Amino acid sequence: MSIYNVGILVGSLRKNSFNKKIAEYIVDQEESKFRYSLIDIGDLPLYNQDFDDEGTPPASYTRFRQEINALDAVLFITAEYNRSVPAVLKNAIDVGSRPYGKNSWDGKPAAVISSSIGALGGFGANHHLRQSLVFVNLLTMQQPEAYIGDIESSIGSDGKIESGETKDFLHSFKQAFEQWAEQFITNKGQD
């Protein structure tokens, strides 16, 4: 059985991040042919094109680009900051998209989950993120959408996702994403 590697990028560096808890829940699910792992974005210096133009990318850029290149699919799970994408996640997208002509995201299937302590579930971040994903040519699943509001109430005293409703939603989202992703992965190299 082929194994497909999915990288999860979390749009929050907070140690008790609710979005990270969603990511950890997905990583912990029973293994299918899709294997999920967290990709670190917290050590990427703010993107400066000089690094690439002068051939001196930081080691963390090189590590990150190699990790993205090796993925079959990408899952973004993000907080919303001021109705948009947290800067740390936008920075990671920029780093992965360069140097010019070496866009690590190109043609990979992707999906977006946003969550918030507020009622709107990070809708603004989710859609601003999608704008960048179009440009870097990630093939982002359109439906189902995932805006998880009042995320704090889904977390149990052990710090893990406890709400049955949220778990059920994440299961069905994950299934839809795997179907979406597989059609592009299995078509790879058949042109």
Ligand X SMILES: Cc1cc2nc3c(=O)[nH]c(=O)nc-3n(C[C@H](O)[C@H](O)[C@H](O)COP(=O)(O)O)c2cc1C
Binding site for ligand X (CB under 6 A): 12, 14, 17-19, 79-83, 116-118, 120, 122
Beta carbons of 119 and 88 less than 8 angstroms apart:
no
For residues 11 and 57, which CB has a smaller minimum distance to ligand X in the complex?
11
For residues 116 and 154, which CB has a smaller minimum distance to ligand X in the complex?
116
For residues 44 and 151, which CB has a smaller minimum distance to ligand X in the complex?
151
Report d(CA 69, CA 162) in Å as an integer.
34
Taking each continuous run of H as one helix and of E as one strand, the counts in the chain are 6, 6
In sequence order, the 6+-apart residues with CB closer than 8 A to the CB of 171 are 29
φ, ψ of residue 26 to 5 degrees: the values are -65, -40
For residues 109 and 122, which CB has a smaller minimum distance to ligand X in the complex?
122
Q: How far is the CB of 102 from ligand X (least distance, A)?
A: 30
Half-sphere exposure of 16 (CA within 13 A, CB side): 8
For residues 96 and 124, which CB has a smaller minimum distance to ligand X in the complex?
124
Length of the chain: 191
Q: How far is the CB of 164 from ligand X (least distance, A)?
A: 21
Q: How far is the CB of 148 from ligand X (least distance, A)?
A: 11
Q: How far is the CB of 120 from ligand X (least distance, A)?
A: 6
3-class state of residue 73 by DSSP = strand
Q: How far is the CB of 39 from ligand X (least distance, A)?
A: 16
Distance of CA 16 to the CA centre of its chain: 18
| Six token digits for residue 149 | 């509001």
